[in-house]
Amino acid sequence: MITPSQIIQYIAKHYQVNPAYLWAKFPEYGVFRHLNSGKWFAILMNIPGNKIGLSHTETIWIINVKAQPEMIGALRMIKGVYPAYHMNKEHWMSLHLAEISPSLLWECIQNSFSLTQQKKR
């Protein structure tokens, strides 16, 4: 399983971004934003499993990332990929850290970073 600290280190190394902890009620929820625009590209959360459709309420770690709407259906067929928790399910998905392969996780973070980057005019 990829740990939350591994994700934080990976994003800091590859994108020079540290998480912002925005909610006192949810102190472990880390939001990753573009430095220039402030747009979110990922949010790391620990939630009850039933929030993404699992049959239990044990706490799990997920990361929400943005994806192309036409790709989400196919990606959702992969173990560890779920409808986005608390985000627009057409554009975002949740990746369960205990189930997702590391290579797919890193690819999805890169894709989300690219999709949310402001285009230069």
Instruction: Please give the average per-residue pLDDT across 20-47, as a whole number.
Output: 95
Whether 6 shows a pLDDT value over 80: the answer reads yes
pLDDT tens-digit profile of 49-78?
999 999 999 999 999 999 999 999 899 989
Whether 121 shows a pLDDT value over 60: the answer reads no
From the number of C-beta atoms within 10 Å of its C-beta (0-12, 13-18, 19+), residue 27 rates as exposed
Whether 120 shows a pLDDT value over 60: the answer reads no
End-to-end CA distance of the chain: 40
Token pair of 113 as six digits: 């970073």
At residue 109, the pLDDT reads 98
**Average pLDDT in the chain:** 94
